[in-house]
Protein backbone atom coordinates (compact mmCIF):
# COMPACT_ATOMS: atom_id res chain seq x y z
CA UNK A 1 0.00 0.00 0.00
CA UNK A 2 1.44 3.34 -1.06
CA UNK A 3 1.64 6.01 1.62
CA UNK A 4 0.05 9.14 0.21
CA UNK A 5 0.17 12.34 2.26
CA UNK A 6 -1.01 14.74 -0.43
CA UNK A 7 -3.07 17.50 1.15
CA UNK A 8 -1.45 16.96 4.57
CA UNK A 9 0.81 19.45 6.29
CA UNK A 10 3.62 18.72 8.73
CA UNK A 11 6.05 20.40 11.09
CA UNK A 12 9.36 18.69 11.85
CA UNK A 13 11.40 20.28 14.61
CA UNK A 14 15.12 20.09 13.96
CA UNK A 15 14.11 18.90 10.52
CA UNK A 16 17.11 20.12 8.55
CA UNK A 17 19.86 17.73 9.64
CA UNK A 18 20.45 14.08 10.51
CA UNK A 19 17.35 12.08 11.45
CA UNK A 20 15.16 15.17 11.14
CA UNK A 21 16.33 15.79 7.58
CA UNK A 22 15.50 12.21 6.55
CA UNK A 23 12.05 12.55 8.11
CA UNK A 24 11.35 15.87 6.40
CA UNK A 25 12.37 14.49 3.00
CA UNK A 26 10.33 11.31 3.47
CA UNK A 27 7.19 13.27 4.33
CA UNK A 28 7.67 15.50 1.31
CA UNK A 29 8.24 12.54 -1.02
CA UNK A 30 4.91 11.17 0.21
CA UNK A 31 3.28 14.45 -0.83
CA UNK A 32 3.06 16.49 2.37
CA UNK A 33 3.94 20.15 2.69
CA UNK A 34 6.58 20.32 5.41
CA UNK A 35 7.61 23.20 7.66
CA UNK A 36 11.10 22.71 9.03
CA UNK A 37 12.22 24.35 12.25
CA UNK A 38 15.95 24.70 12.82
CA UNK A 39 18.35 26.12 15.37
CA UNK A 40 21.37 26.32 13.10
CA UNK A 41 22.72 24.72 9.89
CA UNK A 42 21.89 25.71 6.33
CA UNK A 43 18.71 25.60 4.23
CA UNK A 44 19.70 22.66 2.01
CA UNK A 45 16.90 20.33 3.19
CA UNK A 46 14.23 22.98 2.68
CA UNK A 47 15.51 23.77 -0.81
CA UNK A 48 15.48 20.07 -1.69
CA UNK A 49 11.86 19.81 -0.59
CA UNK A 50 10.87 22.92 -2.53
CA UNK A 51 12.45 21.39 -5.63
CA UNK A 52 9.98 18.51 -5.24
CA UNK A 53 7.14 21.01 -5.60
CA UNK A 54 6.17 21.03 -1.93
CA UNK A 55 5.69 24.07 0.29
CA UNK A 56 8.49 24.19 2.87
CA UNK A 57 8.55 27.09 5.33
CA UNK A 58 11.96 27.26 7.01
CA UNK A 59 11.64 28.71 10.50
CA UNK A 60 14.34 29.35 13.09
CA UNK A 61 13.25 28.14 16.52
CA UNK A 62 14.66 27.75 19.99
CA UNK A 63 12.16 25.10 21.08
CA UNK A 64 13.05 25.62 24.75
CA UNK A 65 11.47 29.09 24.59
CA UNK A 66 7.72 28.77 25.17
CA UNK A 67 6.72 32.12 23.72
CA UNK A 68 8.88 31.58 20.64
CA UNK A 69 7.36 28.14 20.09
CA UNK A 70 3.85 29.59 20.15
CA UNK A 71 4.79 32.33 17.69
CA UNK A 72 6.59 29.99 15.27
CA UNK A 73 3.75 27.47 15.24
CA UNK A 74 1.26 30.23 14.46
CA UNK A 75 3.50 31.29 11.58
CA UNK A 76 3.90 27.70 10.39
CA UNK A 77 0.14 27.18 10.39
CA UNK A 78 -0.38 30.40 8.40
CA UNK A 79 2.19 29.38 5.80
CA UNK A 80 0.76 25.85 5.58
CA UNK A 81 -2.80 26.96 4.85
CA UNK A 82 -4.17 27.36 8.35
CA UNK A 83 -3.75 23.83 9.70
CA UNK A 84 -1.04 21.41 10.82
CA UNK A 85 -1.86 17.72 10.44
CA UNK A 86 1.43 16.14 11.51
CA UNK A 87 3.98 17.11 14.16
CA UNK A 88 7.30 15.32 14.54
CA UNK A 89 9.02 16.38 17.75
CA UNK A 90 12.52 15.55 16.59
CA UNK A 91 14.48 18.37 18.28
CA UNK A 92 16.84 17.06 20.94
CA UNK A 93 20.47 16.97 22.02
CA UNK A 94 22.74 15.08 24.39
CA UNK A 95 24.38 18.45 25.19
CA UNK A 96 27.38 16.71 26.75
CA UNK A 97 28.50 13.56 28.56
CA UNK A 98 28.62 14.37 32.27
CA UNK A 99 28.53 12.00 35.25
CA UNK A 100 25.92 12.65 37.93
CA UNK A 101 28.66 13.24 40.50
CA UNK A 102 30.02 16.08 38.37
CA UNK A 103 26.75 17.37 36.91
CA UNK A 104 25.69 20.96 37.51
CA UNK A 105 22.09 22.02 38.02
CA UNK A 106 22.36 23.95 34.77
CA UNK A 107 23.41 20.89 32.75
CA UNK A 108 20.55 18.77 34.13
CA UNK A 109 17.99 21.48 33.45
CA UNK A 110 19.33 22.14 29.95
CA UNK A 111 19.16 18.48 28.94
CA UNK A 112 15.63 18.08 30.29
CA UNK A 113 14.55 21.28 28.57
CA UNK A 114 16.02 20.36 25.16
CA UNK A 115 14.70 16.81 25.09
CA UNK A 116 11.47 16.74 27.13
CA UNK A 117 10.17 20.26 27.63
CA UNK A 118 10.44 20.96 23.91
CA UNK A 119 8.06 18.07 23.18
CA UNK A 120 5.56 19.55 25.63
CA UNK A 121 5.84 23.10 24.27
CA UNK A 122 5.51 22.04 20.63
CA UNK A 123 2.69 19.57 21.23
CA UNK A 124 0.72 22.15 23.20
CA UNK A 125 1.31 24.73 20.48
CA UNK A 126 0.18 22.47 17.61
CA UNK A 127 -3.09 21.23 19.11
CA UNK A 128 -5.16 24.32 18.18
CA UNK A 129 -4.08 23.88 14.55
CA UNK A 130 -4.91 20.16 14.31
CA UNK A 131 -8.34 19.62 12.88
CA UNK A 132 -10.56 17.41 15.03
CA UNK A 133 -10.87 14.00 13.44
CA UNK A 134 -7.33 13.53 12.12
CA UNK A 135 -3.90 14.33 13.49
CA UNK A 136 -0.55 12.69 14.11
CA UNK A 137 2.11 13.51 16.70
CA UNK A 138 5.37 11.55 16.71
CA UNK A 139 7.85 12.12 19.53
CA UNK A 140 11.50 11.09 19.68
CA UNK A 141 12.48 8.94 22.64
CA UNK A 142 15.62 6.77 22.63
CA UNK A 143 17.00 3.35 23.46
CA UNK A 144 18.67 5.26 26.30
CA UNK A 145 15.24 5.50 27.95
CA UNK A 146 15.32 1.69 28.23
CA UNK A 147 18.93 0.93 29.08
CA UNK A 148 20.18 4.12 30.73
CA UNK A 149 22.36 5.18 27.80
CA UNK A 150 26.11 5.34 27.55
CA UNK A 151 28.59 6.96 29.90
CA UNK A 152 27.56 10.42 31.06
CA UNK A 153 24.05 10.20 29.60
CA UNK A 154 21.92 9.89 32.75
CA UNK A 155 20.17 13.24 32.22
CA UNK A 156 19.53 12.41 28.57
CA UNK A 157 18.19 8.97 29.45
CA UNK A 158 15.87 10.44 32.07
CA UNK A 159 14.57 13.03 29.60
CA UNK A 160 13.91 10.41 26.91
CA UNK A 161 12.11 8.19 29.43
CA UNK A 162 9.99 11.22 30.20
CA UNK A 163 9.18 11.55 26.50
CA UNK A 164 7.85 7.97 26.51
CA UNK A 165 5.55 8.67 29.46
CA UNK A 166 4.49 12.00 27.97
CA UNK A 167 3.60 10.18 24.75
CA UNK A 168 1.32 7.69 26.48
CA UNK A 169 -0.43 10.34 28.54
CA UNK A 170 -0.97 12.66 25.60
CA UNK A 171 -2.25 9.75 23.49
CA UNK A 172 -5.07 9.21 25.99
CA UNK A 173 -5.84 12.91 26.13
CA UNK A 174 -6.05 13.44 22.36
CA UNK A 175 -7.65 10.16 21.27
CA UNK A 176 -11.21 11.58 21.46
CA UNK A 177 -10.15 14.15 18.85
CA UNK A 178 -8.89 11.51 16.45
CA UNK A 179 -5.25 12.49 17.03
CA UNK A 180 -2.74 9.68 17.55
CA UNK A 181 0.44 10.17 19.56
CA UNK A 182 3.34 7.74 19.31
CA UNK A 183 7.10 7.78 19.83
CA UNK A 184 10.21 6.27 18.31
CA UNK A 185 13.14 4.97 20.33
CA UNK A 186 16.20 4.78 18.06
CA UNK A 187 19.37 3.01 19.07
CA UNK A 188 22.65 3.70 17.27
CA UNK A 189 21.77 5.75 14.18
CA UNK A 190 25.00 6.43 12.31
CA UNK A 191 25.81 9.32 10.00
CA UNK A 192 24.25 11.92 12.27
CA UNK A 193 25.78 14.93 14.04
CA UNK A 194 24.69 13.37 17.36
CA UNK A 195 26.95 10.33 17.18
CA UNK A 196 29.62 12.03 15.10
CA UNK A 197 30.00 14.46 18.01
CA UNK A 198 29.48 12.30 21.09
CA UNK A 199 30.29 8.69 20.14
CA UNK A 200 33.85 7.96 18.92
CA UNK A 201 34.17 5.58 15.93
CA UNK A 202 35.63 2.77 18.05
CA UNK A 203 32.67 2.99 20.45
CA UNK A 204 30.22 2.95 17.54
CA UNK A 205 31.93 -0.16 16.18
CA UNK A 206 31.71 -1.86 19.56
CA UNK A 207 27.98 -1.14 19.65
CA UNK A 208 27.51 -2.44 16.11
CA UNK A 209 29.25 -5.69 17.06
CA UNK A 210 26.44 -6.38 19.53
CA UNK A 211 23.55 -5.60 17.17
CA UNK A 212 21.87 -8.82 15.93
CA UNK A 213 21.21 -7.33 12.48
CA UNK A 214 24.92 -6.62 12.13
CA UNK A 215 24.85 -2.92 11.32
CA UNK A 216 24.09 0.48 12.75
CA UNK A 217 20.87 2.24 11.87
CA UNK A 218 20.45 5.01 9.31
CA UNK A 219 18.31 8.15 9.44
CA UNK A 220 16.13 6.56 6.75
CA UNK A 221 15.35 3.66 9.10
CA UNK A 222 13.78 6.16 11.48
CA UNK A 223 12.04 8.09 8.70
CA UNK A 224 10.36 4.90 7.51
CA UNK A 225 8.82 4.35 10.92
CA UNK A 226 7.56 7.94 10.93
CA UNK A 227 5.89 7.42 7.55
CA UNK A 228 4.08 4.37 8.92
CA UNK A 229 2.89 6.17 12.06
CA UNK A 230 1.53 9.20 10.20
CA UNK A 231 -0.21 7.13 7.53
CA UNK A 232 -3.61 5.45 7.48
CA UNK A 233 -1.78 2.15 8.05
CA UNK A 234 -1.33 3.21 11.69
CA UNK A 235 -4.77 4.76 12.23
CA UNK A 236 -5.44 2.36 15.16
CA UNK A 237 -1.99 2.76 16.74
CA UNK A 238 -1.56 5.26 19.57
CA UNK A 239 0.46 5.50 22.77
CA UNK A 240 3.14 3.17 21.40
CA UNK A 241 6.92 3.40 21.55
CA UNK A 242 8.53 1.78 18.50
CA UNK A 243 12.03 0.45 19.10
CA UNK A 244 14.45 1.00 16.19
CA UNK A 245 17.69 -0.65 17.26
CA UNK A 246 18.38 -3.71 15.12
CA UNK A 247 17.42 -6.05 17.94
CA UNK A 248 20.11 -5.00 20.38
CA UNK A 249 17.63 -4.21 23.17
CA UNK A 250 16.47 -7.82 23.58
CA UNK A 251 19.72 -9.52 22.56
| Phi and psi, residue 120, nearest 5° | -65, -50
What CA–CA distance (Å, rounded) separates 243 from 213?
14
Beta strand extents in the chain (DSSP E only): 9-13, 33-38, 58-60, 86-89, 135-140, 179-186, 241-244
| Phi and psi, residue 225, nearest 5° | -65, -35
Q: Which residues are catalytic?
A: 156
What CA–CA distance (Å, rounded) separates 107 from 115?
12
Among 129, 93, 226, 116, CA closest to 166 = 116
Amino acid sequence: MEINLKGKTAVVTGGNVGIGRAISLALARAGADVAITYYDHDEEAANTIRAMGCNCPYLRLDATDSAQVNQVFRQAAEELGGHIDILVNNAGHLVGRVSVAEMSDEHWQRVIAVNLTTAFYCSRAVIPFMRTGWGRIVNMSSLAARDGGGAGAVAYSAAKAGVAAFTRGLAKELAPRGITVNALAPGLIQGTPFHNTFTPPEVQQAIVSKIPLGRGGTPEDVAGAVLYLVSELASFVTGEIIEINGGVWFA
